[in-house]
Chain A
Amino acid sequence: MWFDLKLAWRNIFRNKRRTFIAGTAIGVGLASMIFTDALMIGMKDNMIRSATKSFLGEAQIHREGFRLTQDVKKTISNLKALISRLEKEDSVERFALRTVSFGMITSPASVSSVMVYGIQPSSEKYLSQIDDVIKEGDYFAGDGEREIVIGSDIAELLEVRIGDRTVITVTRAESGDLAQEMFRISGIYNFNVKEMDTGMAFVRLSKAQEMLGIGKDVHEIAIEFKDIHFASRAENPFWSEYSVHGNEAVSWTELLPQLNAMLGIFWISVMVMGFILFGIVAFGIINTLFMSLYERLFEFGVIRAIGTRPSGTRRLILLEAGALSLLSIGLGVVLGFILTLIFVKTGIDYRGIEIAGTSIHEMIYPVIHAQQYIIYPLAVFVFTLLIGLYPATVASKMSISKALRKSL
Chain B
Amino acid sequence: MENSREKIIVAENVKKDYKEEDIVVRAVRGIDLTVRAGEFAAIVGPSGSGKTTFLNVISGLDTPTDGKVWLHNKLLSEMSGKELSDFRRDHIGFIFQAYNLIPVLTVEENIEYVMLLQGISRQERHHRVMEILAEIGMEGMEKRFPPKISGGQQQRVAIARAMVSQPDLILADEPTANLDQQTGAELLDMMRELNRKTGMTFLFSTHDPMVMERADRVITLKDGKVETDQRKNQH
Interface residues of A, Cβ cutoff 8 Å to B: 3, 7, 10-11, 13-14, 298-299, 302-312, 399-401, 404
Is A306 in contact with B161, judged by CB distance below 8 angstroms? Answer: yes
**B114 touching A307, Cβ below 8 Å:** yes
Query: B86–A299 contact, CB under 8 A?
Result: no
A309 with B105, Cβ < 8 A, contacts A302-B100, A401-B56, A401-B62 known: no
Bound: A309/B85 CA distance, A: 5
Q: What residues of chain B lie closer than 8 Å to A306, measured between beta carbons?
A: 88-89, 93-94, 113-114, 117, 161-162
Contact B96 A11 (CB under 8 A): no
B104: which A residues are within 8 A, CB to CB? 7, 10-11, 13-14
Q: Enumerate chain B residues within 8 angstroms of A304, measured Cβ to Cβ.
A: 85
A397 (CB) vs chain B CBs: closest residue? B81
Within 8 Å CB of A309, what residues of B?
81-82, 85-86
Contact B102 A303 (CB under 8 A): yes
How far does the alpha carbon of A312 sit from the alpha carbon of B103 in the complex, in Å?
18
Q: With A and B bound together, what is the CA distance between A294 and B62 in angstroms?
A: 20
Bound Cα distance A307, B86 (Å): 6
Does B59 sit within 8 A of A, measured CB to CB?
yes
Q: How near does chain A come to B117, taking the closest CB pair, in angstroms?
A: 5
B1-26 toward A: CB 8 Å interface, digit per residue (1/0)? 00000000000000000000000000
Contacts of A11 in B (CB 8 A): 104
Residue of A nearest to B93 (CB): A306
Q: How far is the CB of A306 from chain B (nearest CB, A)?
A: 5
Instruction: Compute how far the CA of A312 lies from the CA of B104 in the bound complex, rounded to whole angstroms.
Output: 17
Given contacts A306-B94, A307-B89, A404-B96, contact A299 B102 (CB under 8 A): yes
Considering only residues 45-98 of chain B, those with a C-beta below 8 Å from chain A are 53, 56, 59, 61-62, 81-82, 85-86, 88-90, 93-94, 96
Given A304-B85, A305-B88, A308-B117, A7 and B105 touching (CB < 8 A)? yes
Q: What are 28 sample pairs from A and B whose C-beta atoms fall under 8 A apart?
A: A7-B104, A7-B105, A10-B105, A11-B104, A13-B104, A14-B104, A298-B100, A299-B102, A305-B59, A305-B88, A306-B93, A306-B113, A306-B117, A306-B161, A307-B88, A307-B89, A307-B90, A307-B114, A307-B118, A308-B117, A309-B85, A310-B81, A311-B82, A312-B85, A399-B62, A400-B56, A400-B62, A404-B56
Chain A nearest CB from B96 CB (Å) reads 6
State whether the Cβ of B116 lies closer than 8 Å to any Cβ in chain A. Answer: yes
CB of B35, distance to nearest CB on chain A (Å): 18
Q: Which 10 residue pairs are nearest across A and B when measured between Cβ atoms?
A: A307-B89, A10-B104, A401-B62, A401-B56, A309-B85, A400-B61, A307-B88, A401-B61, A302-B100, A305-B94
Q: Which size class do B's interface residues fall under?
A: 20 to 34
Rounded to whole angstroms, the CA-CA distance of A306 and B170 in the bound complex is: 11
Chain B interface (Cβ within 8 Å of chain A)? 53, 56, 59, 61-62, 81-82, 85-86, 88-90, 93-94, 96, 99-100, 102-105, 109, 113-114, 116-118, 161-162
| Minimal beta-carbon separation of A337 from chain B (angstroms) | 32
**Is A302 a contact of B117 with CB atoms below 8 Å?**
no
- Once the chains bind, are A302 and B62 in contact (CB under 8 Å)? no
Residue in chain B with minimal CB distance to A12:
B104
Decide yes or no: A308 and B99 within 8 Å by CB, A14-B104, A401-B61, A404-B61 being known contacts: no
User: Closest residue of chain A to B117, judged by CB?
Assistant: A307
Bound Cα distance from A305 to B93, whole angstroms? 9
Query: Complex Cα distance A10/B147, Å?
Result: 14
Task: Determine if B102 and A308 form an interchain contact, defined as CB atoms under 8 angstroms apart.
Answer: no
Q: Give the residues in chain B near A310, CB-CB below 8 Å.
A: 81-82, 85
* Neighbouring A residues of B100 by C-beta, 8 Å: 298, 302
Minimum Cβ distance to chain A for residue B28 (Å)? 12
CB of A312 within 8 A of CB of B61, answer: no
Closest chain-B Cβ to A127's Cβ sits at a distance in Å of 66
| A380→B105 CA distance, assembly (Å) | 29
Residue of A nearest to B91 (CB): A307
Known contacts A307-B117, A311-B82, then 11 further A-B pairs from the complex at CB < 8 Å, ordered by chain A residue: A7-B105, A10-B105, A14-B104, A299-B102, A306-B89, A306-B117, A306-B161, A307-B85, A308-B117, A309-B81, A400-B62
The complex places the Cα of A154 from the Cα of B66 at a distance, in Å, of: 95
Within the complex, the shortest CB–CB distance from B198 to chain A, in Å, comes to: 18
Shortest distance in angstroms between B184's beta carbon and chain A's nearest beta carbon?
20
Q: Tell me how far the C-beta of B59 lies from the nearest C-beta in chain A, rounded to whole angstroms.
A: 7
Q: Kindly name the residue among B56, B104, B162 whose own CB sees the greatest number of chain A CB atoms within 10 A.
A: B104
Chain B nearest Cβ from A146, distance in angstroms: 87
Q: How far is the CA of A299 from the CA of B104 in the complex (A)?
A: 11
Rounded to whole angstroms, the CA-CA distance of A381 and B2 in the bound complex is 59
Docked-complex contact B85 and A302, CB < 8 angstroms: no
CA distance A11 to B89 in the complex (A): 23
Shortest CB distance A324–B (Å):
15
Contact across chains for A299 and B99 when beta carbons are under 8 A apart: yes
Quick check: B96 and A302 within 8 Å, CB to CB? yes
With both chains docked as a complex, state the minimum distance between the C-beta of B51 and any C-beta of chain A, in angstroms: 13
With both chains docked as a complex, state the minimum distance between the C-beta of B115 and any C-beta of chain A, in angstroms.
Answer: 10
Q: In the complex, what distance in Å separates the CA atom of A3 from the CA atom of B112? A: 11
> Chain A's nearest CB lies how many Å from the CB of B61?
4
What residues of A have a CB within 8 angstroms of the CB of B88 in the complex? 305-307
Residue contact A302 to B82, C-beta cutoff 8 Å? no
* Alpha-carbon gap, A7 to B109, bound state (A): 10
Residues of chain A contacted by B102 (CB below 8 angstroms): 7, 299, 302-303
Closest CB of chain B to A113's CB: distance in Å?
A: 80
> Which chain B positions have C-beta within 8 A of A298?
99-100
Residues of B near A401 (CB, < 8 A) are 53, 56, 61-62
**Residue of B whose beta carbon sits closest to that of A303:** B102
